[in-house]
Amino acid sequence: MKPLKVSVPANSIVSTLLNDAYFADAYAVADPAPQRSAMEQWLDIVKSAPVWVERAMDLRNAVVSRLGLKDLGRLGGVDSGKPAWDYRIGDRVGIFSLQHMTSNEVVMADSDSHLDVHVSLFKSSPDDRVVVSTVVHVKNWFGRLYMLPVAPVHRIIVPTTLSRLKLSTRFSS
């Protein structure tokens, strides 16, 4: 199923961050594995990130590190042997730090001098779907400049990686 652009779920943690957000979006797919936790599904998504997404992260890191920003590593840069239930608040999960974790939602974040990013994977029970939401607050003119190329690419990366959820959960333990 192709991911659909939706509103950030009202009962998601990141919905509280929408006020004054510079950028926000959300995409949903039918939940292919309702028995799996939000963290298990997030790990499924990032571990199956397309090669071109990882190369885009490599390019991003090479360019912005020269401008004094953090090298975030790769989206799929997670410990493949670490089970979802071993993650704790503050742990790195690929390019993000874990901020919140329940069985139906994980929130990851990253903050730098130019912006704050929050990403949620939210399992919506009433309609059995998985929603990935992103909320960005820019801190300065460089954050706005940074988002010019990032926002359009983000609108390709999120649906592409979310569409791989069905493929990855079929083969996960």
Q: What pLDDT tens digit does each residue of the chain (173 aa) get?
A: 689 999 999 999 999 999 999 999 999 999 988 989 999 998 888 777 666 666 766 666 567 677 766 656 556 666 677 788 888 999 988 778 899 999 999 999 999 888 999 999 999 877 789 999 999 999 999 889 888 988 998 898 889 888 877 645 444 44
Report yes or no: 57 and 45 within 8 Å, Cβ to Cβ: no
Distance CA 5, CA 126 (A): 18
- Helix, strand, coil percentages, rounded to 5, for the chain: 35, 25, 35
Q: Which of 98, 129, 106, 109 minimizes the C-alpha distance to 39?
A: 106
Phi, psi of 66 (to 5 degrees): -75, -15
pLDDT at 99: 96
Give the single-character DSSP code of 15: G
Report yes or no: 48 and 168 within 8 Å, Cβ to Cβ: yes
Can you spell out the DSSP letters for 106-163? Answer: EEEEEE-SSEEEEEEEEEETTTTEEEEEEEEEE-SHHHHHHHHHHHHHHHHHHHHHHH
Which helix (H) or strand (E) element contains residue 38? helix 38-47
Report the alpha-carbon angle 150-95-170, nearest 5. Answer: 100
Distance CA 101, CA 87 (A): 9
pLDDT at 76: 61
Residue 168: other Cβ atoms inside 10 A: 19
pTM across the whole model: 0.84
Phi, psi of 89 (to 5 degrees): -55, 130
